[in-house]
């Protein structure tokens, strides 16, 4: 019996001038509908009225499309406008579930996008590297890979002056068989990822590599007259640098996460709260923080390396390969001796070296952390077998097969 897999394929579009103008208008219309619906919800809340659901917002959208003042909304396809309302509904649901902050108004030029949800209106011609989208017609795209499966929806987005499309597909695949055993992972600054078998990957630090060029470009922008032609050119230069930083980081994370997920059936990783770890230490005027400069550098390194995105990629790639991601509590993973089990902060007097004060065991500190993470993964499985419910974060109840054979 096969399993269903959802996957997205992203390509750069090659629109003509008229299509670019249309896409800017469509993205602007979706942004307008989202912001107007959010303002309507806020106004209803202030008046003590009940929040409108998706169906109620769609009725308002119909009124806006037929209103003389906003009749230009009818020039955009209706389905992407309705999807903007669905995005707002999802943002509210995430807020009430305490998964995100309260929805904010969208700004022009930030995450400009729109989505076509109906596959019946989409025609993909891979042989001629083109796609048909409602009210845009046939668009050419850079055909860098084959799209597998049935098209479910298409999202068009703009980034750094270029237009892209993401095609989400659904297909049936054979149940994957995981390869390899179990491994523990320790994440750090000097070494991005260290495995319990001693393998490690040095960090890329793509932002740090382009920081000087970015600073010069931002200084040049500050000397330009706002909204002048030279100001727009300088702003585009900054956008290109940011795009280069993001592309390099994503490529780096994809390569490492793919290698690890293809060679291991179970990956044990610390359940680090990246948002809390990268919080500012500046404090307030009444209670200023300590070591603010050092903490700022640490925060920048954590965010530059993309810890959260790496864990997200590992999770779905392991699932695709039939493996499991096991999240374990990070407490004392860097202070526990793997030889005798002694726990002490004195075991790690330097950042790089671990020396047990009890038995004298010496090893690289990151390798010790990875070994302890792997053992914590085994312990989590033992708790599950004995009937003690494990903490949140363990994925799939049958992970014991791979752990027992690691």
Separation of alpha carbons 303 and 215, rounded Å: 18
Is 366 designated active site? yes
Produce one character per residue of 167-192: b if its CB has 16 or more CB atoms within 10 Å, e if not: bbbeeeeeeeebebbbbbbbbbeebb
130 HSE (CA, 13 A, CB side): 9
d(CA 233, CA 273): 39
Specify whether 46 is catalytic.
Answer: no
Among the listed residues 321, 308, 320, the one whose alpha carbon sits nearest the alpha carbon of residue 264: 321
User: Residue 224 CB: number of other CB atoms within 10 A?
Assistant: 15
H/E stretch holding 173:
strand 162-173
Buried b (16+ CB within 10 A) or exposed e, 10-22: ebebebeeebeeb
Active site residue 186: yes
The answer to whether 389 and 367 have CB atoms below 8 angstroms apart is no
Q: Which one of 270, 286, 309, 384 is the catalytic residue?
A: 270
Run of H or E including 40: helix 17-46
Sort strands 182-187 and 266-270 into parallel, antiparallel or unpaired.
parallel
DSSP string of 219-257, one letter each residue: HHHHTSPTTSHHHHHHHHHHHHHHHHHHHHHHHHHHHHH
| Residue 39: closest CA among 29, 51, 26, 25 | 51
Tokens of 322: 């039939």
Nearest alpha-carbon partner for 145 in 162, 131, 126, 158: 126
* Separation CA 153–CA 77 (nearest Å): 14
Alpha-carbon distance of 351 to 298, in angstroms, equals 14
Q: Which of 89, 112, 304, 366 is catalytic?
A: 366
Calculate the alpha carbon distances from 68 to 65, 73, 74, 75, 218 in Å: 8, 10, 11, 13, 42
Closest by Cα among 236, 253, 403 to 328: 403
- C-alpha count within 13 angstroms, C-beta hemisphere, residue 239: 14
Catalytic residue among 186, 271, 315, 362: 186
- Residue numbers annotated as active site: 186, 270, 366
């Amino acid at each position: 019996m096969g399993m269903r897999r959802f996957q997205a394929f992203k390509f750069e579009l090659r629109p003509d001038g008229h299509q670019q103008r249309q896409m800017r208008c469509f993205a602007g219309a979706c942004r307008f509908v989202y912001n107007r619906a959010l303002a309507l919800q806020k106004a209803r809340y202030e008046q003590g009225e009940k929040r409108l659901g998706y169906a109620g917002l769609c009725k308002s959208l119909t009124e806006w499309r037929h209103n003389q003042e906003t009749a230009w909304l009818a020039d955009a396809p209706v389905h992407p406008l309705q999807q903007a309302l669905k995005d707002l509904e999802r943002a509210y649901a995430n807020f009430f579930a305490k998964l995100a902050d309260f929805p904010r108004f969208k700004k022009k030029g930030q995450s400009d996008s729109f989505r076509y949800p109906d596959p019946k209106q989409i025609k993909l011609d891979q042989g001629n590297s083109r796609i048909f989208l409602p009210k845009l017609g046939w668009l050419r795209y850079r055909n860098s890979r084959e799209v597998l499966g049935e098209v479910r929806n298409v999202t068009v987005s703009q980034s750094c002056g270029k237009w892209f499309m993401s095609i989400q597909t659904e297909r049936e695949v054979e149940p994957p068989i995981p390869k390899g055993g179990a491994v523990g992972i320790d994440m750090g600054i000097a070494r991005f990822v260290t495995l319990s078998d001693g393998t490690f990957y040095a960090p890329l630090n793509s932002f740090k590599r382009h920081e000087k060029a970015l600073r010069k470009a931002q200084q040049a922008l500050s000397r330009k007259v706002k909204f002048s032609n030279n100001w727009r050119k300088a702003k585009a230069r900054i956008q290109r640098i940011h795009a280069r930083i993001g592309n390099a980081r994503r490529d780096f994370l994809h390569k490492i996460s793919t290698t690890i997920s293809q060679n291991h059936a179970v990956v044990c990783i610390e359940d680090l709260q990246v948002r809390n770890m990268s919080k500012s230490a500046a404090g307030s005027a009444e209670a200023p923080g300590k070591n603010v400069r050092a903490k700022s550098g640490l925060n920048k390194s954590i965010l530059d390396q993309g810890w959260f995105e790496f864990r997200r990629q590992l999770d779905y790639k392991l699932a695709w390969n039939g493996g499991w991601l096991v999240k374990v509590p990070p407490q004392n993973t860097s202070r526990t001796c793997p030889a005798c089990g002694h726990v002490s902060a004195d075991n790690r007097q330097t950042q790089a070296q671990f020396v047990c004060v009890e038995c004298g065991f010496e090893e690289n500190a990151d390798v010790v952390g990875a070994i302890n993470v792997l053992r914590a993964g085994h312990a989590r499985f033992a708790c599950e077998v004995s009937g003690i419910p494990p903490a949140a974060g363990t994925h799939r109840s049958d992970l014991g097969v791979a752990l027992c054979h690691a």
